[in-house]
Structure 1
Amino acid sequence: LWLEANPPRFIDRNQNESITLRQLRHPLLVWQQKHEQGTSVVPIDVQIQSYIRVVAITGPNTGGKTVTLKTFGLAALMAKAGLFVPAREPVELPWFEQILADIGDEQSIEQSLSTFSGHIRRISRIIEAITTPKEELQLDRLKVGGSQEFQVGRLKVLREQPDNLGQKATLREQPDNLGQKATLREQPDNLGQKATLREQPANLEEPWPKGHATRTTPRASLVLLDEVGAGTDPAEGSALAIALLKYLANTTQLTIATTHYGELKALKYQDERFENASVEFDDQTLSPTYRLLWGIPGRSNALSIARRLGLNPSVVDQAQTLLGGASEDVNEVIAGLEAQRRTQETKAQQANQLLQQAESLHQELSERAKLLQERERELKLSQERSVQDAIAQAKKEIAQVIRQLQQGSQTAQNAQKATNALKEIAQRQIPAAPPPKPKPGFRPKVGDRIRIPRLNQTAEIISAADNGELTVRFGLMKMTVALADVESLDGQKPENVVKTTSKPAPAPTPVSPPATAVRTSKNTIDIRGSRVANAEIDIDQAISKAIEFGVLWIIHGKGTGRLRQGVHAFLEQHPLVERFKLAEQSEGGTGVTVAYLK
């Protein structure tokens, strides 16, 4: 848990799969941070495309180049050993058959080895290892001098040696020469001529056995070289380093090398199999940041580091003068590239934050939309249940009215009461449909044919009154209708209401009967068979009683029309009547007049 590692996935670089190790950390540094209160670990990001064979890491001393080599090599070893790798998912890297390294200084006074000769001898053994047939080489781990975390094993070979006398082989414990650790060696017992195999540790200073066949295809090897070509003349060292890296590009799967030679930085622009990387250096604090940057060659910053470490300023200034302006110009270009990269990384981080915020907002909106849809569905279900309950209740009330009719005397008055009860139920239980939107643009004129929807009749306009009413004729009948109650034959409503010109009309009162007025026995009067004089008295009394309803239905019948005309004349002069009209066809048509009260 403290390592925060993840399982690796082995990839095939021949299938265009890239090496991906994000936020990779060295396990020992993580241990120091977690358990020894060490400084925080700066992780590195490794992204190597499938066609890259050599990575040249440049940058200042003490910048983290060697630690980068060790961290990547240890990650490859941990993956091969079945361990989790301390990096973020996904952890993707190939299976390296061999992991060979030249890290540290191999100079030895006892063996008369200089720094350069020690590096060359180890590089020679690395080249032989990658060209040695697999059957003749058993690679456990390669010891690299001076590196504690890489001193985990030795290169061992199996050599075939005959016994002397054919004796039975025995096991004898003898110390090896490299680690003083006891090992088991198989030695002949001189009893027979049968060849046996003896396991011996390979002496790193001993030449490799001769006679090995040369490999025709490169092995899937990882080679790590620290300060390649160092320890000799810079011109010769850089030439040797270039030749070595080009050779390794053809014979290994991946080589990672650190260097200070500027000539190696140009290999990327000559061969696409090469890539540059660098460790970042802060020009403001004159100290490394230990971040690994890809695609940009680094600067050694030797003079800046020397100045920071306290070297005499006059010496540093003299060195700067001797270095010349060309190198300074190159450093300025590289510094500009690094600044641009930092700017792009900052923008990329900001864009990533905005993307995360957008994704979070999108998720929140999606959840809200889903919640609203769920609420809408529940509301519809609730409304449907309410409608079903209302319909069921209405059916019960209708059935009750029908039973009362069936049980009582079948008179006209009882039928009228039943009709009124059913209408009241309908008005209470069923919501009124919104009226259709009228079509504007119709201006009625004398002689035009119009339609009266409430009578379901067509009529001819005889005259237009000044109070917004029309006198129309259909058949042998003439009547006065409100302008709002007519429409053209194609369904258009009148555009303007005719206004009076004699004197200004008083402001119309907004009181009007509701479109869903309920007809009951209390606001209905039947005067059929009465004389006009008697009917006027009955109507006046009925108006007084129906004033709270705002509307009065007057049943006068059709007959000759004289009673209807008398009723209309009385209503025109009555002070409590706002207006009146013939009833709808379903309510009696021309045999019933509806009076709207003030």
Structure 2
Amino acid sequence: MKDKILSVLEYPKILHKLTAHAATEIGKTRAERLRPSHEFSAVRSSLQATDEAFAVQRLKGGAPFGGIRDIRGSLQRARIGGALNPAELLDIATTISGGRKLKRFLFSFHENHPIPMLQAWAEGIAELNKLEEGIAFCINDQAEVSDQASPELNRIRHERRTGEHRVRERLEQMLRTPSVQKMLQESLVTVRNDRYVIPVKQEYRGSIGGIVHDQSASGATLFIEPEAVVQLNNKLRELSLKEQKEIEKILRQLTEKVAEFAEELRESLESLAELDFQFAKAALAKEMKASLPIMNDSGFIQLKKARHPLITGEAVPINVELGREYSTIIITGPNTGGKTVSLKTIGLLSLMAMSGLFIPAEDGSSMCVFEGIYADIGDEQSIEQNLSTFSSHMTNIIGILRSLTPNSLILLDELGAGTDPAEGSALAIAILEHIHSQGCRMVATTHYSELKAYAYDRPGIINASMEFDVQTLRPTYRLLVGVPGRSNAFAIARRLGLPEEIIERARGQINEETQRVESMIASLEENRLTAETERQSAQQLRREMDRLRRELEQERTRFEEQRDKMLQKAEQEARDAVAKARREAEEIIADLRRLAMEERAAVKEHKLLEAKKKLDEAVPALRKTKAAARNKSAAVIEPGDEVLVASLGQKGHVVEIAGDGAVVQLGIMKMKVGKADIEPVAAPKPQKQYQPAGTGVKRTRDEHIRTELDLRGANLEDSLLEVDRFLDEAILANLGRVSIIHGKGTGVLRNGIQEYLRRHKHVQSYRLGNFNEGGTGVTLVELK
């Protein structure tokens, strides 16, 4: 991409904005080198990186880049054996520290919100903790070598401070002497040429022996080093030289350590620069209120409410689609109508997308990657080359024709302008025809009416115009694709007060073909305005429907949440009621067992009815749905049907129908149950006619009482229920010993049953069967 094209489309101004958002110098340098890419995969990767940085910025407000410096020059000096100064070493330490903090920040963010590309760059940041600690130990925050850098330096500095104290003490004694005080300009001790001196008046130069190191600008004051402190100052000078030598030694040792890790530091710096660059792109996207474009490799552009990123204030957005139904757009309309801005917007946003930058347009906008973008925009008249505007445009266009490829974007402003209108329009049509035949994507602006008719009936070419408000005599800057621009000269002249007869005479000078084209354009514009009004009305209705739909959805969500809460509450109440009913049922069953054991005879009818009444009262009063009530009332119960007694949770068979209820056989008991408490289990089928029997519970064993229970193949939970029911029947039948067949298997069923038997109050003992009794697959139970 030629720099001239980038400059014409104002791409360098975008880079200037991007660079301003970089947090470090190395990031700014990386941003300044940004150029559009012609590789589709590279563009997609670059946009993905920008999107990841944008996500971090949106959720965390950005990334920490504090302390990171441009240390490339320091690393180069360390490589070639030069010694680094304390400030350079401190910059290296803070860069290592800043890189480590940034790396940990991105790693932490990646755990919850994947950012694979930023994560990969973060992995390239070396964590040189020992080097950082070594520098921090020797160099303080003021970029000075600290006393603790080496024992020798600490000793030298201690001696120097002691010597300085002695010199100052000796000189202050002299200052306090009355004979000396009259010779002094000021009573103070100062330093000249790294030696302690006192200010003496010029006339007493010979009265105080010593070395003159300086004098004031007026010459009235001499800064003299008295002979009494010359040796002490000499000692201080020697210590200063030793200190400097030791500091140089420490700095060289630290520089050698930096040189060892120079390559790792260089790679870390590249990763840091790339990360800063990506976050600068995200910050630019936030500033421009830009969005991620959808990239394609089919040469298709669709801009939704796109804005020129360099226009301040409220820019009028444009909608453009190019590359499917038509590959060429010819924009017509008056000057100052925004044609050139639309042209630059298309070109600049294409460059930004190809550079991995978000574009200032609505979500869902599509962009593609071009092999080249070529533009001829603006008045390029050259005085130095003695070229007219027309010649300059032709020179640019000739260069474009030599360089373009089918996968190029061509932007031509005022095509054919600057020469005779007839020749200019003919030349413009020929150029458009040639470029269009190459398969390029092209947008051109023009004043010529002939180009309107040319685009009207050419496949792949469409007219467009910039809207102009005749009532206010101002452009609206809206791009109207599909409608050619009208010549508004007559309308404007009439609004400004030009006499009507002059306007009619001028209209008569226009040929019939031109008038027909203008009438066609006027009709198209009228139809467009009508369609636009209807579209806006439809959009308003759609927004209203969307609002109502959202409100309905919110209401439905609230209803479901309320329903779920009520169901949870009802389920809890039902569980509590069932638990209560179960406890009362167990008490009733215990009472029946006690009656059977104590009376040693059949339980009387009235006692059974009393127990049945207690069971009925123990049933939780749960509200049944209307549908369930209808299903129950609709079911026809007949003798022999298998039914479920809801209040007891037990299945049985109907013996006979009795009034508003039925007599149901439940195991060895017969009970009269109301129809509302009966639910059919299966379709009615013929059953063996039950012989009426007494309602008492017999203590003696009969042919219906089982002495063994086979549970092979059942799960533990169901098996325990069956064991409980089986033992109840055995106890009521006064059985002393029963067998439970559980099989061998894994032992889970056997262990669970035996654990249950161990806690059962009516079980005296239990054991596994002998060899002839079924072995470990059977448990024999002795009842009390």
TM-score by structure 2 length?
A: 0.40
What residue in structure 1 maps to residue 354 of structure 2? 80
What residue in structure 2 maps to residue 126 of structure 1? 400
Indicate how the Cα distance of structure 1 residues 455 and 103 shifts in structure 2: closer, same or farther if over 3 A, else same. Answer: closer
Residues 116 and 230, structure 1, Cα contact 8 Å, conserved in 2: yes
- Equivalent residue runs for 1:256-267 within 5 Å: 256-267=443-454
Q: Secondary structure at the match of 2:615?
A: helix
- Equivalent residue runs for 1:206-217 within 5 Å: none
What residue in structure 1 maps to residue 298 of structure 2? 13
Shift of 1:244: 0.8
Q: 1:246 aligns with which of 416, 420, 433?
A: 433
What residue in structure 1 maps to residue 615 of structure 2? 425
- Equivalent residue runs for 1:304-343 within 5 Å: 304-305=491-492, 319-320=506-507, 322-323=509-510, 326=516, 329-343=519-533
Deviations 1:158-211 (A, max 9, x none): xxxxxxxxxxxxxxxxxxxxxxxxxxxxxxxxxxxxxxxxxxxxxxxxxxxxxx
1:231 and 2:440 matched: no
What residue in structure 2 maps to residue 274 of structure 1? 461
Letter in 1 for 2:418: G
Shift of 1:64: 0.8
Shift of 1:399: 3.3
Q: 2:475 aligns with which of 271, 274, 288?
A: 288
Structure exhibiting the larger radius of gyration computed from Cα positions: 1
Residues 281 and 287, structure 1, Cα contact 8 Å, conserved in 2: yes
Residues 405 and 414, structure 1, Cα contact 8 Å, conserved in 2: no
What is the alpha-carbon distance in structure 1 between the residues aligned to residue 373 and residue 608 of structure 2?
102
What is the alpha-carbon distance in structure 2 between the residues aligned to residue 19 and residue 122 of structure 1?
25
Letter in 1 for 2:592: I
What residue in structure 2 maps to residue 25 of structure 1? 307
1:454 and 2:659 matched: yes
- Equivalent residue runs for 1:354-503 within 5 Å: 354-357=544-547, 359-361=549-551, 363-364=553-554, 366-368=556-558, 370-371=560-561, 374-375=564-565, 377-378=567-568, 381-382=571-572, 384-402=574-592, 405-406=595-596, 416-417=606-607, 419-429=609-619, 436=633, 453-454=658-659
What residue in structure 1 maps to residue 289 of structure 2? 4
Q: Secondary structure at the match of 2:459?
A: coil
What is the alpha-carbon distance in structure 2 between the residues aligned to residue 410 and residue 237 of structure 1?
126
Indicate how the Cα distance of structure 1 residues 263 and 376 shifts in structure 2: closer, same or farther if over 3 A, else same. Answer: farther
Indicate how the Cα distance of structure 1 residues 224 and 112 shifts in structure 2: closer, same or farther if over 3 A, else same. Answer: same
What residue in structure 2 maps to residue 486 of structure 1? none
- Equivalent residue runs for 1:493-532 within 5 Å: none
What is the alpha-carbon distance in structure 1 between the residues aligned to residue 346 and residue 657 of structure 2?
94
Indicate how the Cα distance of structure 1 residues 20 and 366 shifts in structure 2: closer, same or farther if over 3 A, else same. Answer: farther
Residues 61 and 300, structure 1, Cα contact 8 Å, conserved in 2: no
Shift of 1:387: 4.5
Decide which moves more: 87-96 or 273-282.
87-96
What residue in structure 2 maps to residue 94 of structure 1? 368
Shift of 1:382: 2.8
What residue in structure 2 maps to residue 205 of structure 1? none
Q: Secondary structure at the match of 1:60?
A: coil
What is the alpha-carbon distance in structure 2 between the residues aligned to residue 246 and residue 362 of structure 1?
55
Q: Secondary structure at the match of 1:79?
A: helix
TM-score by structure 1 length?
A: 0.51
What is the alpha-carbon distance in structure 1 between the residues aligned to residue 367 and residue 532 of structure 2?
27
Deviations 1:331-364 (A, max 9, x none): 4313313313322431342243145235424533
Residues 465 and 484, structure 2, Cα contact 8 Å, conserved in 1: yes
What residue in structure 1 maps to residue 320 of structure 2? 46
Letter in 2 for 1:266: A
Q: Secondary structure at the match of 2:364?
A: strand
Q: Secondary structure at the match of 1:28?
A: coil
Decide which moves more: 310-319 or 366-375.
310-319
What is the alpha-carbon distance in structure 1 between the residues aligned to residue 502 and residue 418 of structure 2?
23
What residue in structure 2 maps to residue 103 of structure 1? 377
What is the alpha-carbon distance in structure 2 between the residues aligned to residue 267 and residue 328 of structure 1?
14
Letter in 1 for 2:411: L
Letter in 2 for 1:43: P
What is the alpha-carbon distance in structure 2 between the residues aligned to residue 107 and residue 312 of structure 1?
38
Residues 377 and 412, structure 2, Cα contact 8 Å, conserved in 1: yes
Letter in 1 for 2:457: Q
Indicate how the Cα distance of structure 1 residues 385 and 305 shifts in structure 2: closer, same or farther if over 3 A, else same. Answer: same
Indicate how the Cα distance of structure 1 residues 370 and 236 shifts in structure 2: closer, same or farther if over 3 A, else same. Answer: same
Q: Secondary structure at the match of 2:520?
A: helix
What is the alpha-carbon distance in structure 1 between the residues aligned to residue 454 and residue 531 of structure 2?
21
Higher-strand-fraction structure = 1
What is the alpha-carbon distance in structure 2 between the residues aligned to residue 394 and residue 437 of structure 1?
31
Shift of 1:384: 4.2
Indicate how the Cα distance of structure 1 residues 267 and 369 shifts in structure 2: closer, same or farther if over 3 A, else same. Answer: farther
Q: Secondary structure at the match of 1:89?
A: coil
Indicate how the Cα distance of structure 1 residues 314 and 382 shifts in structure 2: closer, same or farther if over 3 A, else same. Answer: same
1:299 and 2:573 matched: no
Shift of 1:68: 0.3
Decide which moves more: 66-75 or 327-336.
327-336
Deviations 1:106-148 (A, max 9, x none): 3345544333233222222221222xxxxxxxxxxxxxxxxxx
What is the alpha-carbon distance in structure 2 between the residues aligned to residue 26 and residue 240 of structure 1?
30
Shift of 1:329: 2.5
Decide which moves more: 372-381 or 246-255.
372-381
Residues 490 and 503, structure 2, Cα contact 8 Å, conserved in 1: yes
Letter in 2 for 1:454: G
What is the alpha-carbon distance in structure 2 between the residues aligned to residue 456 and residue 274 of structure 1?
87
Indicate how the Cα distance of structure 1 residues 127 and 330 shifts in structure 2: closer, same or farther if over 3 A, else same. Answer: same
Deviations 1:74-104 (A, max 9, x none): 1122223333222222342222222211112
What residue in structure 1 maps to residue 282 of structure 2? none
Residues 106 and 118, structure 1, Cα contact 8 Å, conserved in 2: yes
Residues 296 and 337, structure 1, Cα contact 8 Å, conserved in 2: no
Residues 470 and 488, structure 2, Cα contact 8 Å, conserved in 1: no
Letter in 1 for 2:297: D
Deviations 1:525-544 (A, max 9, x none): xxxxxxxxxxxxxxxxxxxx
Residues 260 and 300, structure 1, Cα contact 8 Å, conserved in 2: no
Indicate how the Cα distance of structure 1 residues 411 and 431 shifts in structure 2: closer, same or farther if over 3 A, else same. Answer: farther
What residue in structure 2 maps to residue 345 of structure 1? 535
What residue in structure 2 maps to residue 470 of structure 1? none
Q: Secondary structure at the match of 1:381?
A: helix
Indicate how the Cα distance of structure 1 residues 332 and 229 shifts in structure 2: closer, same or farther if over 3 A, else same. Answer: same
Q: Secondary structure at the match of 1:292?
A: strand
Q: Secondary structure at the match of 1:298?
A: coil
What is the alpha-carbon distance in structure 1 between the residues aligned to residue 426 and residue 336 of structure 2?
25
How well do the aligned residues superpose, as a CA RMSD in angstroms? 3.6
Higher-helix-fraction structure = 2
